[in-house]
């Protein structure tokens, strides 16, 4: 897509405000490093028009054929951002990490321009705090989030782990022996263990079914549970004593 098409598209794309980012059309990704680059390619793979911006010519060249539009620009320069049409953009990802000054400046410029939906990567707690204080609501800490997730996976009882918030996660695990073979209604899982069983995948099936009270879980099922990370962890480890 050339610049003209992108500009022609931008008003329509960026007009919406309540839809999830990837469903709304194009997304501007600023900083095509490892994180920004793989995010941009993943979005592009799913049919999203991605506008990639980086101040390194060689990086831009690498993405030129793979994104809807890629351009070399300094994201800390408000005039340049406006020339690029970022003032019409309501969905932006700032994926500049190690250059703290550039990240903060770009964030403040984009906020000033008036973009409503901004995701910004932080590489430290302080960096994240500064971005929050500036007014960025969605601060991502990829290394941290991945580290937390991996810690749960490596410990073995959870096969997938998705932190939704500090106090709420989704985890994929197997039913502990003490909740298997009896209808869920008779167990009071939420009251006893503080977690909710959200969905069940039967052994050999490819399909997840929403859990309901009349269901009975079996040891070879997979389940998706939701709750506070501490309770989710505790629940997924109920068989630990019997494992050893």
Q: Which stretch binds ligand ATP (CB under 6 A): 29-37, 126-134, 167-175, 202-210?
A: 29-37
Binding segment for ligand ATP (CB under 6 A), chosen from 73-81, 124-132, 191-199, 218-226, is 73-81
**Residue 117 C-beta: closest distance to ligand ATP, Å:** 19
Task: Determine what percent of the chain falls in helix, strand and coil, rounding each to the nearest 5.
Answer: 45, 25, 35
In the complex, least distance from residue 165 CB atom to ligand ATP, rounded to whole angstroms: 23
Task: Give the whole-angstrom CA distance, residue 8 versus residue 149.
Answer: 40
| In the chain, beta strands by DSSP E | 27-30, 50-54, 69-72, 91-94, 117-121, 138-140, 160-165, 168-173, 195-201, 208-210, 222-227
Q: Which of 6, 13, 35, 119 binds ligand ATP (CB under 6 A)?
A: 35
**98 binding ligand ATP? (CB under 6 A):** yes
Shortest distance, CB of residue 105 to ligand ATP, whole angstroms? 7
User: Is 99 one of the binding residues for ligand ATP (CB under 6 A)?
Assistant: yes
Q: Does 74 bind ligand ATP (CB under 6 A)?
A: yes
Residue 140 carries which DSSP code?
E
User: How far are the Cα atoms of 226, 227, 230, 236 from residue 167, in angstroms, in the given order?
Assistant: 10, 8, 9, 16
Pick one of 3, 7, 34, 46: the residue that binds ligand ATP (CB under 6 A).
34
Within 10 A of 108 (CB to CB), how many other CB atoms are there?
A: 17
Asked if 76 is part of the footprint of ligand ATP (rule: CB under 6 A), the reply reads: yes
Exactly one of 19, 56, 181, 220 binds ligand ATP (CB under 6 A); that residue is 56
59 is a contact residue toward ligand ATP (CB under 6 A): yes
- Shortest distance (Å) from residue 133 CB to ligand ATP: 20
- Cβ closer to ligand ATP: 31 or 229? 31
Taking CA atoms, 146 is separated from 1, 29, 112, 142, 152, in Å, by 33, 20, 31, 6, 10
174 binds ligand ATP (CB under 6 A): no
Q: List b or e across 173-210, with b for residues whose CB sees 16 or more CB atoms inside 10 angstroms.
A: bbbbeebbeeebeebebeeebebebbbbeeeeeeeeee
Among 21, 33, 80, 108, binds ligand ATP (CB under 6 A): 33
* Binding residues for ligand ATP (CB under 6 A): 30-36, 53-56, 59, 74-76, 95-99, 102, 106, 123
């Amino acid at each position: 897509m050339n610049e003209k098409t992108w500009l022609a598209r931008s008003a329509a794309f960026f007009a919406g405000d309540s839809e999830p980012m990837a469903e709304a059309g194009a997304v501007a990704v600023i900083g095509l490093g490892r994180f920004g680059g793989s995010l941009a390619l993943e979005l592009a793979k799913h049919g999203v028009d991605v506008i990639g911006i980086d101040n390194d010519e060689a990086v831009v060249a690498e993405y030129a054929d793979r994104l809807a539009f890629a351009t070399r620009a300094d994201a800390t320069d408000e005039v340049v951002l406006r020339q690029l049409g970022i003032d019409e953009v309501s969905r932006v990802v700032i994926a500049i990490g190690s250059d703290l000054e550039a990240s903060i400046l770009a964030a403040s410029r984009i906020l000033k321009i008036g973009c409503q939906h901004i995701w910004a990567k932080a590489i430290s707690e302080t960096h994240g705090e500064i971005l929050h204080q500036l007014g960025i609501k969605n601060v991502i800490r990829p290394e941290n989030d991945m580290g937390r997730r991996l810690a749960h996976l490596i410990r073995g009882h959870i096969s997938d782990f998705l932190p939704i918030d500090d106090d709420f996660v989704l985890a994929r695990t197997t039913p502990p022996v003490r909740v298997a073979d009896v209808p869920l209604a008779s167990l009071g899982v939420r009251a006893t263990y503080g977690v909710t069983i959200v969905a069940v995948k039967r052994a050999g099936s490819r399909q997840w079914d929403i859990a309901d009270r009349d269901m009975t879980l079996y040891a070879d099922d997979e389940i998706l549970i939701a709750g506070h990370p501490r309770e989710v962890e505790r629940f997924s480890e109920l068989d630990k004593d019997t494992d050893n």
